[in-house]
Chain A
Amino acid sequence: MKKYINIAFAFSILSLTWVSCFKEDLPVDEDGLLITTRAECAVTNFELLGSDFVTVRTVAAVIDTVAQKVAVTVQFGTDLKNVYPQFTLSQDAKLDPKITGKMDFSDLANPKVFTVVSGNRQVRKPYTVNITVQPK
């Protein structure tokens, strides 16, 4: 009887191990990021850092998710050729183009456009970043 109990115990341990090692084969995109079922697609926060990694905003950025616009006012004298933008996006979403370092936002007449791509990679929303420099 004891022998049968031992066998049953060993078998259950083995099956648990097997189950824990089993992975669901979820799809990933070209960046190696999981493609999920979420369709939310929005910018939830925006930050702009100077070359010294200190914020150059004067107030919090205004994000209009309907018009798909980000409006940010920066300090007088900000070196807009060398700033680091930071986007916070809705869950599982990603940004196109990617931000890899310093960016040039100095061409105020032609604001930069970033596209937010939803977690399911089905929804794409372009956001325009409008920068205003604080007057002297």
Chain B
Amino acid sequence: MNRKLIYTISPAFVAALLLFIGCKKEEYALPVAPDVLQNTAIKRTLGPNIVTQTIDFAYAAAILPTKGKLTSIQVEASIAGATGTFLENRSFYTNGSGVDVGVTVGSPSVNEGTKTTVTFTVDTSAATLRYSYVVPEEARGKTVTFTFSAKSSNGETVTTTMGPYTIAKMDMVRLLNVKTDSAYISIADMKVYDPKTAATNASKIDLVYLYRNITTSTFSHALVSPAADTAYLPNVKMPTGLTNSTKMQKVFNLQDFNLARLQFGIYIDDLDFQQLDLTNAPNYAINLKAEAGVWVQTADNKYKAYIYINSVTTSGTAVISIKRYAL
């Protein structure tokens, strides 16, 4: 064959071949479900696991309808959950409008020691149940593991383990109302006292909440130690016996999700308190705004805390939330 002709035809041939391969479709085949009982779990809550708060999971189990039905689902936690721990007896699906709809599939869950069980009362081969574990006090600083298991009518059992999850050492309290000159905050008790009760708990009072609308300076909302310079406690009638000098550092843009419940995915964890250094911090924080916060270390060095300011008003009130870490 003529050499020139070969050079002309070959590229065209290769291009046609590539086009042919590119257009060839693989035959689609319906996936075949395994004929055994299957399961899977996901953790629904993010951030640190805090005592009294919940850790939420969704657990799904399914078996081919021809093989059998689900008879029970059980969760075993390595440390028994506190009161309020439960396994949903409804299986949820998301409808066309994006709303989660629950369908009752079993009797309400029963807690027995570390185990929480739902027994199925309807014929179903697939279900997704939600599990809500209320972190108990005894789990503080420890790890918790969860074993999810499902049983089917043909005698099969399937298990999935989740964890271990570390439970934070810190405590949390939300939405404490404070009012100027009558809010004495105790980090040790995680409480707000009025002037009368503050005097009887003098050694525990770490901070005073103040609001001053001073035209010559920016005082506004403030958290001040009882032992701070009187310039930062203008016209405050301090109850007798309050002497603590608490170290404080102002923070902005740290809207911890657990405290603020806003759109920000920021979480303060034990590690933040462990690494916090307030050596040269002052004992007052003035000109505070909503969504700001204050790192705190108590005078007796027993606690570090983060006080978040949920909201403020110009009438001298505020709502605060506290995360506290025992040293």
Residues of A within 8 A of B (CB): 50-54, 75-77, 79, 81-82, 104, 134-136
Tell me which of A53, A54, A77, A79 contacts B217 (CB under 8 A): A77
**Using Cβ atoms and an 8 Å threshold, which residues of chain A touch B249?**
51-52, 79, 82
Interface pair A77/B287, CB less than 8 Å apart: yes
Asked whether any CB of chain A lies closer than 8 Å to the CB of B173, the reply is no
Q: 9 tightest CB-CB pairs across the interface, nearest first?
A: A76-B217, A52-B252, A77-B286, A52-B250, A79-B282, A51-B249, A81-B280, A75-B218, A52-B251
Bound-state CA distance A121–B241 (Å) is 60
Chain A nearest CB: distance from B211 CB in Å? 14
10 A-B pairs whose Cβ atoms sit less than 8 Å apart in the complex: A51-B251, A51-B281, A75-B217, A75-B218, A76-B286, A77-B284, A77-B287, A82-B280, A135-B217, A136-B216
Q: Is the contact region of chain B dominated by helix, strand, or loop, or is it mixed?
A: loop
Interface pair B250/A51, CB less than 8 Å apart: yes
Bound-state CA distance A50–B214 (Å) is 21
**Using Cβ atoms and an 8 Å threshold, which residues of chain B touch A135?**
216-217
Interface pair A54/B219, CB less than 8 Å apart: no
Interface pair B217/A136, CB less than 8 Å apart: yes
Interface pair A76/B218, CB less than 8 Å apart: yes
**Using Cβ atoms and an 8 Å threshold, which residues of chain A touch B280?**
81-82, 104
Interface pair B231/A136, CB less than 8 Å apart: yes
Asked whether any CB of chain A lies closer than 8 Å to the CB of B232, the reply is yes
Bound-state CA distance A75–B217 (Å) is 7
**Using Cβ atoms and an 8 Å threshold, which residues of chain B touch A51?**
249-251, 281
Interface pair B281/A79, CB less than 8 Å apart: yes
Closest to B250 in A: A52
Asked whether any CB of chain A lies closer than 8 Å to the CB of B292, the reply is yes
Chain B nearest CB: distance from A73 CB in Å? 11
